[in-house]
Structure 1
Amino acid sequence: MPRLKRRPVTRGGRAAEHRSAAPGLRTSPGALRATIRLRRLIARLRPAIIHANSSRAHAYTVPAACRRWPVVWHARDLAPLGIAGWFLVRGANRVIAISRAVAKSLARHGDPARVTVIHNGIDAESISPDRIQGDRVRAELGLGAGQPLIGMVGQLVPWKRHPWFLEAAARIASAVPQARFAVAGGDLFGDHPDYESELRARARSLGVTERVRFLGHRADALQLIAACDVLLHPTECEPFGRVILEAMALAKPVVAANAAGPAEIIEHSLSGLLVAPGDIDKMAAAVVGLLQRPEERAPIGARAREQVVRNFSITQTVSRIETVYREVARG
C-alpha cells in the first residue's frame, strides 16, 4: 500500500462524537442532502478508504459509499443502537472500537471478527507534569497551600453521573473538611438545559454549595486536572475515558467506576483505584484514603504516567489504525 494520505471531509471532535451517542441515530432535516453531497465528494476524491470517525458520520457514509468504497467505522459510543446497529456494523468493512466494552456492545449486531479494539492514545510528552502545572488554577479557585482539590471533568450530561460525584463530595467533606471540589464541563449542545440547575440544587441539599465550584467548559482543562489532587470519574458507562488518560499522564491518581472503559485503563491499586459502580460510600472512602495518605498518591501517580507512556501513546494508536487501513486496502 502506498504512503497514506489523509483528507478530512467533515469537521468535528470528541464532543461531536458524543452527541451521536444519544439513543438511536438522530438525523437532521438536511440528512438526505448531506448524504448526496458526501456521495459526490467521494466520487470526486475516489479514496482508497473512507474512515467514519463517529456513529453519526458512519450513518451518512454507508449510503454515500454504496459499498463501492471500503469503509472503516471508528465506534466510540456505548449507547444502544437498536436496529441501526445492524445497518452500521454491516455497512463497514472493518470496525475500530475504542474499548473492549464498545466492541462487546457491537457483537450482537454483526460479525465480531470485523471489530478491532484500538484504545485511544494521547501525546504523553506534551501532557506531562513538567509542561502543565495547576498553580494558576489553584490561585483562581482560592485554594490554600496543601488544600486538597477533587475534580470531575467531562460533559455536563446525565450519563456522566454528576449526582454521584456530589454525594461522594458530601461524604469526603465530612472526613476531610478542608477539601474542595470542582466540576468542569458544559452542556455543549444544549440538550440538557436544566441539568446544571438541578445539580446546584442537589449540592445545596447535600450542604456542599460552598465547597463545590461549577466551572463550565474550560479551555484549560489540563491545567485544572494538574491543579487537582485526585480526579473522580463516577460514570459506569464511559466508552473509554480520555480524561482519565490525561490525569494519569499528569501523574494524578484517579478513582473511577470499575466498569467499561476505565476498567480497561486503570490497574487497580497500582495506577489508580477502581470501585463498584454506583457505590458512593466506597467511592468516597477511596478518595479520603488518598487524601489522608498523601505518601500513596505520588507512587500511584508515577505508575499511572508510566502506564500511559507504555500502553496509550498516540504513536501506538496511529500505527494500529494504519495497520487496519492496510488490511482493508488489501481486501
Structure 2
Amino acid sequence: MRIGIVCYPSHGGSGVVATELGKQLARRGHKVHFISYNLPFRLDKFYDNIYYHEVDTPTYPLFKYPPYSLALTNKIAELIRYEKLDVIHAHYAIPHSLCAIIARDIAKAPELRLVTTLHGTDITLVGNDPSYRELTKYSIEETDGVTAVSKALWKETIDIFDIKKRIEVIYNFVDVKEYTRQSVPEVDIASGKKQIKNIIHISNFRKVKNIPNVIKIFHLISQEVDARLLLVGGGPEECVAKRMVQQLQLEDKVLFLGKQDNIVPLLSISDLLLLPSKKESFGLVCIEAMACKVPVIASNTGGLPEVVEDGVTGFLADPDDYQKMAELSLRLLQNSGLHEEFAERGRRRVVEKFNAEKIVDQYEKYYRSL
C-alpha cells in the first residue's frame, strides 16, 4: 500500500507512535510518506520505503498567524495526486484529519481511505474547546476509519461528541527488540556513586503531567533511600519544578536532562518510573519503561489502568495522593525481590500485549478492511 502519515514531528507520544508505525509499515514493504512541518525526530537516518514531505507555511502581512492548516491541506492534495496514495493516516483530528478530508475533495479521489487516530489531547483539550468542537466532531464523522489508543479515550470521545461512528481501539506499542534493558553499569550518572536508586520521570512538562507531585513524591522517597531523580523532557512547568527543587533543597539529587531522542539507556539505569498525571489517555512512557524492566508508579486515571496492572507491573493511585505514591514507591525500592517480580512481569506484559508486531498487524488489517 501507499500510505500517507500526517503527524506532529515533536517528542510527544502521538508523534512517536506515528513515526514508529510508519517505520514498521515500511519494513513490511509499504511505501510510507510522512507529511509535517519538520522531519519527525525518530526519522534520524535513511529508511527504505520512507519519504518525507515538508510543509512550507508562507507568511503574508494579511495573515495574523501563519496559515499552516491551509499549507498542509495543499501538500496532502498534491501527494494524493502525484503519489497515488491508498490511505492517509492522520494522527490527531484537528487539524490533520480535517486537512486530509478537504485535500481528498480537492484531489477528487473518493477511493482514497482516511484513517484518524485519536490520541487524547485532540479530544479532551483541543476538541472539547468550543472554538473547535464542531470541527472535531465533523472530522471524526467524515473519516472512513477512526481508532483510539485506549478504551477510556474511546468512551470519552463518544460521551463528549455523541459519536455514532464505530471507533476501533488499537493500543500504542513499542518495538520490544529496541526497548529492552541494556547492560549499563549501575553507577550514578552524575557522581559515580554506586547503589543509588534512580527514579525517572519523562514528559513534556505540561500542567496535566502534575510535575509538582513528581517532586513531592521524590522528596519523600529520598528521605528513606539514597536516590536521584532524573527529569527527562521540558516544557512550561520546568520552571515550577526547578523552583520546588530549590525550596526543598534537592539540587544535588535532581538532574534536569532535557529532551532526549534515545531514552533506552536512561531507562536501563532506572529503578522506577513516576507518572502522577492528572490525565493520560494511554501513557506511552509506561510501556517504554516496562519493556526496559522498570516498574511504574502512576495515576489511576484515563487509560493508565489498561496499561499498568495495579499490584502486578506497578502501582496506581489517585494523582493527588503523592504520599500514597511515595509509600508504594518505597515498597518496591526497599524490597529487591518484589521489585524484580514487577520488573519481569512488566516486560512480559509489553511483549504479550503492546509489542509492535502485534499492533502493526492490527493497523494493517484495519487499513485493508476499509
TM-score range, shorter chain: 0.7 to 0.9
- Which residue of the partner structure matches residue 273 of structure 2? 231
- Which residue of the partner structure matches residue 24 of structure 1? none
Moved more, 63-72 or 293-302: 63-72
Percent sequence identity is 24
Aligned residue identity for 1:140: I
The structural deviation recorded for 1:240 is 1.4
- Which residue of the partner structure matches residue 97 of structure 1? 148
CA contact (8 A) 1:93 1:114 kept: no
Aligned residue identity for 2:342: I
Aligned residue identity for 1:62: I
Change (3 A) 1:112 1:281: farther
TM-score scaled by structure 2?
0.77
The structure 2 residue matched to 1:242, chosen from 284, 306, 329, is 284
CA distance in structure 2 between the aligned counterparts of 1:240 and 1:324, rounded to whole angstroms: 20
CA distance in structure 1 between the aligned counterparts of 2:4 and 2:77, rounded to whole angstroms: 15
CA contact (8 A) 1:35 1:64 kept: yes
Change (3 A) 1:271 1:250: same
CA contact (8 A) 1:163 1:202 kept: yes
Q: Which runs of 5+ in 2 are unaligned?
A: 17-64
- Which residue of the partner structure matches residue 282 of structure 1? 324
1:314 maps onto 2:356 in alignment = yes
CA distance in structure 2 between the aligned counterparts of 1:287 and 1:266, rounded to whole angstroms: 14
CA distance in structure 2 between the aligned counterparts of 1:284 and 1:231, rounded to whole angstroms: 12
Of structures 1 and 2, the one with the larger relative CO (CA 8 A, separation 6+) is: 1
CA distance in structure 1 between the aligned counterparts of 2:297 and 2:362, rounded to whole angstroms: 29
CA distance in structure 1 between the aligned counterparts of 2:279 and 2:15, rounded to whole angstroms: 12
Change (3 A) 1:10 1:239: closer
Change (3 A) 1:96 1:8: closer
- Which residue of the partner structure matches residue 135 of structure 1? 185
- Which residue of the partner structure matches residue 70 of structure 1? 113
The structure 1 residue matched to 2:201, chosen from 129, 152, 157, is 152
1:36 maps onto 2:74 in alignment = yes
CA distance in structure 1 between the aligned counterparts of 2:7 and 2:286, rounded to whole angstroms: 27
The structural deviation recorded for 1:112 is 4.8
Aligned residue identity for 1:77: G
CA contact (8 A) 1:134 1:224 kept: no
1:6 maps onto 2:3 in alignment = yes
CA contact (8 A) 2:212 2:244 kept: yes
CA distance in structure 2 between the aligned counterparts of 1:33 and 1:246, rounded to whole angstroms: 34
CA contact (8 A) 1:99 1:239 kept: yes
Change (3 A) 1:101 1:73: same
CA contact (8 A) 1:184 1:218 kept: yes
Matches for 1:186-265 after TM superposition, within 5 Å: 186-187=234-235, 192=236, 195-265=237-307
CA distance in structure 2 between the aligned counterparts of 1:92 and 1:263, rounded to whole angstroms: 29
Change (3 A) 1:237 1:134: farther
TM-score scaled by structure 1?
0.85
CA distance in structure 2 between the aligned counterparts of 1:317 and 1:13, rounded to whole angstroms: 22
- Which residue of the partner structure matches residue 54 of structure 1? 92
The structural deviation recorded for 1:17 is 4.0
Change (3 A) 1:62 1:5: closer
The number of residues matched between the two structures is 308
Change (3 A) 1:239 1:143: farther
CA distance in structure 2 between the aligned counterparts of 1:277 and 1:139, rounded to whole angstroms: 29
- Which residue of the partner structure matches residue 164 of structure 1? 213
**Helix, strand or coil at the partner of 1:304:** helix
CA contact (8 A) 1:89 1:109 kept: no
CA distance in structure 1 between the aligned counterparts of 2:207 and 2:309, rounded to whole angstroms: 26
- Which residue of the partner structure matches residue 88 of structure 1? 139
- Which residue of the partner structure matches residue 38 of structure 2? none
CA distance in structure 2 between the aligned counterparts of 1:303 and 1:322, rounded to whole angstroms: 28
Moved more, 296-305 or 238-247: 238-247
CA distance in structure 2 between the aligned counterparts of 1:146 and 1:185, rounded to whole angstroms: 25
Aligned residue identity for 1:64: A
The structure 2 residue matched to 1:273, chosen from 315, 324, 327, is 315
CA distance in structure 1 between the aligned counterparts of 2:192 and 2:262, rounded to whole angstroms: 17
CA contact (8 A) 1:182 1:214 kept: yes
Change (3 A) 1:75 1:154: same
1:180 maps onto 2:228 in alignment = yes
- Which residue of the partner structure matches residue 118 of structure 1? 170
CA contact (8 A) 1:149 1:181 kept: yes
CA distance in structure 1 between the aligned counterparts of 2:140 and 2:162, rounded to whole angstroms: 6
The structural deviation recorded for 1:10 is 6.9
